[in-house]
Amino acid sequence: MLEKVAIRVGVLGAGSWGTTLAILLHRNGHQVTLWEFRPEVAKEIARRREVYEFVPGVRLPDGLSVTSDLISTVSGKDMALIVVPSHILRRAISGVSGESAGKAVVVTATKGIEAGTLMRMSEVIAQQWQIDMDRIAVLSGPSLSKEVLKGIPTTVVAASQNLDTAKWTQKVFASPLFRVYASDDIVGVELGGALKNVMAIAAGIADGLGFGDNSKGALMTRGLSEMARLGIRMGGRPLTFAGLSGMGDLITTCVSPLSRNHTVGYRLGKGEKLQDILQSMNMVAEGVNTTKAALELAHKYGFEMPIVEAVYSILFEGKSPKTAVVELMTRELKVED
């Protein structure tokens, strides 16, 4: 039997994933406030009871509050759940101080690495709000929002360097159709969730080029190797990358047409330009920015990430996908690691 706990939660970010988690938490019996940064949009969402831009047709439950007031979203809550894109996370949370969050547990469900600082999202939060890492948790794993909203069984992991924080977060989110595991490897869980998006772009490119299952299997396997080598170098544990936030999330985002990052890659493989693709999307594909950060981290730690390098060359250097694949396949032969 699942242990029930009812708390007050402020959710920062009314995109598809933030809205999905807000609905999930409300269904779990929690008191939930959802923050949308644009006042006029927040009012319209509250009036329609629908986040019409990102999850049209999905009604917000009665009792789930919507506001554009950041301070009231965070103040007096037991949990602050941050689900804003990685490239604006620091700016978004700078509108409120860590003091406003009180003693709340802070959970991030954002998958990315901050440009410039190369910080993980939990590190950005800890630095910006000046709070202890023991109060911060990460939620990650193979969890497409549309499937969670439909009640399709989903399994994720909650991680914190303080295992008690991870276990408490686990209880808050767990439901019969949303199983949550706990972990104290926050480094590995966060990096797995961020880096798999780069591999999803690569997988999409392969699909767009018309390659088959042989190619997909090789790409995912070697992609996981790159993710694990960097993650272990940065302090993550090897087995974490074989788990939900590593291999599990990698499989889902590399094979599902619901994945934004796979979609970006697929359209690149079909010959579209990155700028045109991004302008046509109303949701953020985190893997684009993460590709830059991942390559910087590889250089920082002194080793190669060939798939990341290939994706970078396609995204930012104008290299054709076919040329990048040929270069990957004709690299110096090596022993598998």
The CB density around residue 216, as the number of other CB atoms within 10 Å, is 16
Catalytic residue of the set 4, 103, 111, 196: 196
Question: If you ran DSSP here, which 8-state letter would residue 244 be given?
Answer: I
Report the C-alpha gap between 25 and 19 in whole angstroms.
10
Query: Inter-axis angle of helices 286-301 and 186-208, to 10 degrees?
Result: 120
Q: Closest Cα partner for 7 from 156, 152, 128, 107? A: 107
Q: Which of 26, 18, 174 is nearest to 111 (CA)?
A: 18
Which residues partner with 32 through β-bridges?
A: 9
Contacts of 203 (CB under 8 A, 6+ apart): 216, 219, 220, 223, 253, 254, 255, 262, 265
d(CA 251, CA 114): 24
Question: Taking the alpha carbons of 223, 229, 231, 237 in that order, is the dihedral positive or negative?
Answer: positive
- The strand order across the sheet containing 79-82 reads 65-67, 31-35, 8-12, 79-82, 105-108, 136-140, 154-159, 178-183
142 vs 156: CA distance, rounded Å:
6
Q: Is 196 a catalytic residue?
A: yes
Give the catalytic positions in this structure: 196
